[in-house]
A = this chain, B = another copy of it.
Amino acid sequence: MDKIKRSNNAPVAQTATAQVHAAIKQRILDGDYQPHQYIREASVACELAVSRTPVREALRELVSEGWLEAIPHHGARVAAWTEKDAHEVFEIRLMLEPIAVRLACRHMDNGRLAYLKTLATQMETLTESSIDPEACNELAALNHEFHRELISASGNQRLTALLDGVVRTSVIRRNFANYDATHLRRSMHHHREILQAIEADSPEWAESVMRSHLLAARDLHASFPESMPEASREIPN
């Protein structure tokens, strides 16, 4: 009796607008649309065989989600990602996630904890095996799901939605291209330690580890200054 889990809160591809929404987001993720490139309504409408109306609505949604930026009477273009953006996101995550984990200690239930453990195990298994691009994608997805589930346990739905938006827009390309074996192992250990702290019912411990986790990730990111030409890389954490 597995409950259906929907990790992404994107609109289900039932209406045309939702389909266009998903399609454009995928193209941004895949790098088909490069930063600062304008997304023309007519082009997308033609390619996806729909009218401009659902395209317009999808673009508007993507703008409000931070994927695109709208210039009045000029259309929407892919949001570029600067070092300042990365800095801002880490600053915000450092304010929210550690305290969120602290709150999560109080509201954690066995089912969720078990799910988090399976996620951690899956990530560890992937880390130990070969590091092909496909595995990197999977690792990134699992990592996001882990963080999201942990935050969700705080019981604060607004907080979950907020962080979802903040973190999501920081992931342009889903790969761990510029990773570091040492960092990766430490990261996996952090995940385990957070779960152990929660089991030990020590909010301060869990909060502290999460803070270390994020600070380590920020440091790693700072050590890759502007290396990628077109789009920012995945930031492991």
Binding site for B on A (CB under 8 A): 14-15, 56-57, 60-61, 64-65, 72, 85, 88-89, 91-92, 95-96, 99-100, 103, 156-159, 162, 166
Contact = CB atoms under 8 A, between A and B. Distances in A.
Contact of A92 (B14, B15, B56, B156): B156
A99 B95 contact: yes
A100 to B, nearest CB: 8
Contacts of A96: 92, 95-96
Contact of A64 (B64, B85, B95): B64
A contacts with B: majority SS:
helix
Contacts of A56: 57
Nearest to A91: B156
A233 to B, nearest CB: 19
Contact of A60 (B57, B99, B103, B159): B57
A158 B99 contact: no
A142 B197 CA distance: 43
A88 B57 contact: no
Given A95-B95, A99-B95, A159 B57 contact: no
